[in-house]
Amino acid sequence: MANREDIMAKICELIGPFNNKGVDLTASTTFQGDLEWDSLTVMDFVAAVEDEFDIIITMNMQAEIETVGQLADAVAKLMDS
Amino acid sequence: MTDLLSKFDPLIQERENLLATGVKDPFSLVMEEVLSPTVAICNGKETILLGTYNYMGMTFDDDVRAAGIKALAEFGSGTTGSRVFNGTYSLHRDCEDALREFYAMDHAMVFSTGYQANLGIISTLAGKGDYIILDTDSHASIYDGCAMGNAEIVAFRHNDVEALEKRLKRLPAEAGKLVVLEGVYSMLGDVAPLKEMVRICKENGAMVLVDEAHSMGFIGENGRGVCEAQGVIDDVDFIIGTFSKSVGTVGGFCVSNHPKFEILRLVCRPYIFTASLPPSVMATASTSIRKLMHSGNKRAHLWENSKKLHQGLRDLGFSLGTPEAQSAIIAVIMPDLEKGAMMWQALLAEGLYVNLARPPATPANMTLLRCSLCAEHTSEQVDQILGMFEAAGKAVGAI
């Protein structure tokens, strides 16, 4: 059973190297707005998340994920299925 | 009232800022006269063309032009119809025959553009519940084909064989899967490791589509593309290509040996709901395709040109998109858009046209000066080109 807190912590760890703006990470941090990531950085980051949790995040799913919290929810759901 | 165009204000501002620095607009250049596949008149000045996709120089071939003129005279200016209604002439059938001969395959379907071929084939083959797996550097037409359809879309890091394999293994075993690859990626001019990738696709029960837009006519012993050159053409389910590069006109196609292929003509919307190509375009394409079957010497000369330009630019100190020449595209990496635009303009002033490529067209936010060679470029022209790069590079401080 995937622990959402552990997932959140791992995601924040993975965001680290891409966090050029050095923003504080909370569940409501947005990838496009707060982190100012372009679409290519998003793709590289998503690939890292997929490999870390051994899941697939389709492009349709990515379109729905705007915040760090939403990503953690999506990962938890994918790991449970 | 909300102005629907106000969403483009940041882009409008960026363009105005760039043009205010004094550079000419790289995206509004007009070719006043086109003298040959390699020379045009731009801004009243004779200019070497190093930014076309006229890889085999077929646009001015005598037989190709004669065929076009004859078809225009005999069949008129256009079909005014879709392929499934009144828009299939004998010339359209003959063009599909020429493709089948070129590839030695059973089926060929001609679309009005390569963009429409990708749109149509990708959105139709993969449906709801299926998966499309594509390289992150894929062309816009491939992404748009994915967006137009109802399949789940999974991207993998550019040319990363392991990343492709990991994703295939995570997908449900019984789901339909289409892996879309390109032979040559058009921004950096780099080739895909198709040999390994196609093997992995087959091991994991996926069908494979390879877009050989930038390799058809040039790469592979018969010009059938990178999958031919890497020995995997028999394992590829669908090959997509274009007439707007080596073939020298406009149009797109899909070839395949799949026994059920022909039904696609009745279910592919970008094939059905659009006008078919004019008779003269079909005639020039057929003639060009058949000539490309026997163009080994031209292919060899094009490789020589590409290798010479690549080495020469490296020796001058430019940063290039590939470690060696892998195709007819040589990408020069610029530090930023401003420097790129200055260099593009300096080259134009020297009498050389190249493509200035920038995001979102380019990977990793790069600004590129994309050079593409033609089999008709002489060795002397390549020397001239290197001289122009040296002069312009020093003038703007790029080298």
Q: What is the pLDDT of residues B176-217, one digit of tens each?
A: 999 999 999 999 999 999 999 999 999 999 999 999 999 999
Looking at the complex, report in whole angstroms how far the Cα of residue A66 sits from the nearest Cα belonging to chain B: 18
Query: CB atoms < 10 A from the CB of B127, how many?
Result: 11
- CB of A58 within 8 Å of a chain B CB? The answer is yes
The answer to whether B19-56+296-396 and B61-292 have equal CATH topology is no
So what's the pLDDT on residue B26? 79
Query: Are the beta carbons of A56 and B153 separated by less than 8 Å?
Result: no
Query: Are the beta carbons of A56 and B154 separated by less than 8 Å?
Result: yes
- CB of B260 within 8 Å of a chain A CB? The answer is no
Query: CB atoms < 10 A from the CB of B203, how many?
Result: 11
ipTM: 0.89
Among the four given CATH numbers 3.40.50.300, 3.40.50.1980, 3.40.91.50, 3.90.1150.10, the one describing domain B19-56+296-396: 3.90.1150.10
Find all residues with CB under 8 Å of B80, minimum gap 6, and list them.
Answer: B86, B87, B275
Looking at the complex, report in whole angstroms how far the Cα of residue A44 sits from the nearest Cα belonging to chain B: 7
Nearest to A56 among B157, B170, B360 (CB): B170
Tokens of B289: 């395709």
Q: Which domains does chain A have, with CATH numbers?
A: 4-80 (1.10.1200.10)
How many beta-carbon pairs under 8 angstroms link A with B? 36
Find all residues with CB under 8 Å of B286, minimum gap 6, and list them.
Answer: B67, B91, B94, B95, B97, B98
- pTM, entire model: 0.95
As a whole number of angstroms, the distance between CA B19 and CA B30 comes to: 17
Comparing C-alpha atoms, which of B348, B331, B351 is closest to residue B29? B348
Looking at the complex, report in whole angstroms how far the Cα of residue A29 sits from the nearest Cα belonging to chain B: 23
Question: Do the beta carbons of residue B135 and residue B185 sit within 8 Å?
Answer: yes
Query: Are the beta carbons of A44 and B146 separated by less than 8 Å?
Result: no
- CB of A23 within 8 Å of a chain B CB? The answer is no
For chain B, the residue count is: 399
So what's the pLDDT on residue A1? 52
- CB of B363 within 8 Å of a chain A CB? The answer is yes
- CB of A80 within 8 Å of a chain B CB? The answer is no
Comparing C-alpha atoms, which of B65, B22, B47 is closest to residue B281? B65
Instruction: Return the DSSP state at B46.
Output: E
Give B28-35 contacts, CB < 8 A, sequence gap 24+.
B29/B348, B29/B353
- Output the tens digit of pLDDT for each of chain B's 399 residues: 999 999 999 999 988 998 898 877 878 899 999 999 999 999 899 999 999 999 999 999 999 999 999 999 999 999 999 999 999 999 999 999 999 999 999 999 999 999 999 999 999 999 999 999 999 999 999 999 999 999 999 999 999 999 999 999 999 999 999 999 999 999 999 999 999 999 999 999 999 999 999 999 999 999 999 999 999 999 999 999 999 999 999 999 999 999 999 999 999 999 999 999 999 999 999 999 999 999 999 999 999 999 999 999 999 999 999 999 999 999 999 999 889 999 999 999 999 999 999 887 787 788 999 999 999 999 999 999 999 999 999 999 999
Helical spans, DSSP H, in chain A = 4-15, 39-53, 59-64, 68-80
Comparing C-alpha atoms, which of B321, B338, B332 is closest to residue B385? B332
So what's the pLDDT on residue B188? 95
Between β-strands B45-49 and B39-42, what pairing exists: parallel, antiparallel or unpaired? antiparallel
Query: Are the beta carbons of B167 and A58 separated by less than 8 Å?
Result: no
As a whole number of angstroms, the distance between CA B13 and CA B66 comes to: 47
Query: Could you state, in order of their start, the residue ranges of all structural domains in chain B?
Result: 19-56+296-396, 61-292
How deeply is B78 buried, as exposed, middle or buried, from its count of CB atoms within 10 A (0-12, 13-18, 19+)? Answer: middle
Looking at the complex, report in whole angstroms how far the Cα of residue A24 sits from the nearest Cα belonging to chain B: 25
As a whole number of angstroms, the distance between CA A58 and CA A63 comes to: 9
Looking at the complex, report in whole angstroms how far the Cα of residue A40 sits from the nearest Cα belonging to chain B: 6
Provide the CATH topology of domain B61-292. Answer: Aspartate Aminotransferase; domain 2 (3.40.640)
So what's the pLDDT on residue A40? 78
Question: Do the beta carbons of residue B357 and residue B51 sit within 8 Å?
Answer: no
So what's the pLDDT on residue B354? 97
Q: Dihedral (C-alpha) B309, B365, B353, B19: value to the nearest 10 degrees?
A: -150
Chain A hits for B154, CB-CB cut-off 8 Å, are 56, 58-59
Residue A2 has pLDDT above 70, yes or no: no
**Max Cα-Cα span within chain B:** 62
Chain A hits for B171, CB-CB cut-off 8 Å, are 56
